[in-house]
Structure 1
């Protein structure tokens, strides 16, 4: 989930041009968030579709809970690669890892939003070594003494 934030900063303008849409990023390539005021650029139809999809998944989970006595949150019967362990210990470890990874992703998204709000420019521009070709970073550091400032 947290990877979506920098990926949207890297590819939003490209996808928007392919689909003949306006980009969702602001002038400094920041992702729309509550803190930077960009959520108004996103269509209400999209928000309705997201809400509908989330409701459908939640209702499916509630139906599974009522019909399956072995149901637990997150057990929706989708494991095409067969990664869910068969042992009790393995299952507990996997469930705990899912909870921890979900919480970490939420913290990362919140951190990205605050980072962009405080710094006033995109996460990918604040950490160029992770998102830009090394040759571009070296050239930029060599010519201006810093990146994105």
Structure 2
């Protein structure tokens, strides 16, 4: 767990590094990505040092088609975004910050983040219905934008993995090269967040202590006997 936390804060060099080589795009639009069979993973962004030839120990890029790899990349970037939100949720809602975006906990220690939904269920049971509707709506929108209607199997030819048109702050670059760089940064931060989230969850399942308690930077004031599921 400490390794995951250290990696989260200290490996920004790889996470923010630009691509090794920029794949070729059509100059007409960023969406008009041209796959390159001679490049790792058909030239899709995400390759950084020290893996100059790409990191694919199971050989997916060698045996799968571009359409399949594009689907894999869509899944990777989506899971990375969820993991980044999860890591922020762990760090914000646990000690010593004592802030919870769903309800005011004041000085109450509600324990590890993996058990916070137990408290939410007790305080606001309708939250889960709202959450299910919100997730369903976002996934439906993503499917309608990127996937072929009626098949549920393949992404549309003109759809770039992860580019669902959500850019409220106008951060999306206008050039293809800058877009590749930003996509690589997002992918690497998402990959790092997935590893960190797995480490956080595993550690809290092992001993039922918050991340900051395990790191030794916060006192352990939580009484785990109050949980509906004992560790």
| Alignment TM class, shorter chain as reference | 0.5 to 0.7
Question: In 2, distance between residues paired with 1:79 and 1:94?
Answer: 13
Q: Give unmatched runs, 5+ long, in structure 2.
A: 1-84, 150-155, 221-231
Matched, 1:12 2:111: no
Q: 1:82/1:73 Cα in 2 relative to 1: closer, same or farther (>3 Å)?
A: same
Aligned residue for 2:191, secondary structure, equals helix
Q: Give unmatched runs, 5+ long, in structure 1.
A: 133-146
- Higher-RCO chain (CA-CA 8 Å, sequence separation at least 6): 2
Question: In 2, distance between residues paired with 1:64 and 1:112?
Answer: 33
Retained in 2: the 8 A contact 1:12–1:24?
A: no
Match of 1:54 in 2: 135
Q: 1:114/1:83 Cα in 2 relative to 1: closer, same or farther (>3 Å)?
A: same
Question: In 2, distance between residues paired with 1:41 and 1:14?
Answer: 10
Q: TM-score, normalised by structure 2?
A: 0.42
1:123 offset after TM fit, Å?
Answer: 1.0
Q: How does 1:28-43 map to 2 (within 5 A)?
A: 29-33=111-115, 39-43=117-121
Aligned residue pairs total: 122
Query: Which 4+ residue blocks in structure 1 deviate beyond 6 angstroms?
Result: none
Question: In 1, distance between residues paired with 2:193 and 2:139?
Answer: 20
Q: What whole-Å deviation, never above 9, does each CA across 1:33-80 have from its counterpart, x for those lacking one?
A: 5xxxx6544425333322221221121122223598643232222223
Match of 1:104 in 2: 192
Question: In 1, distance between residues paired with 2:89 and 2:128?
Answer: 17
More helix per residue: 1
Match of 2:88 in 1: 3
What RMSD in Å do the two structures reach over aligned CA positions? 3.4
1:6 offset after TM fit, Å?
Answer: 2.1
Q: How does 1:1-149 map to 2 (within 5 A)?
A: 1=85, 2-9=87-94, 10-12=98-100, 15-17=103-105, 25=110, 29-33=111-115, 39-43=117-121, 45-65=126-146, 70-127=158-215, 129=217
Retained in 2: the 8 A contact 1:24–1:41?
A: no
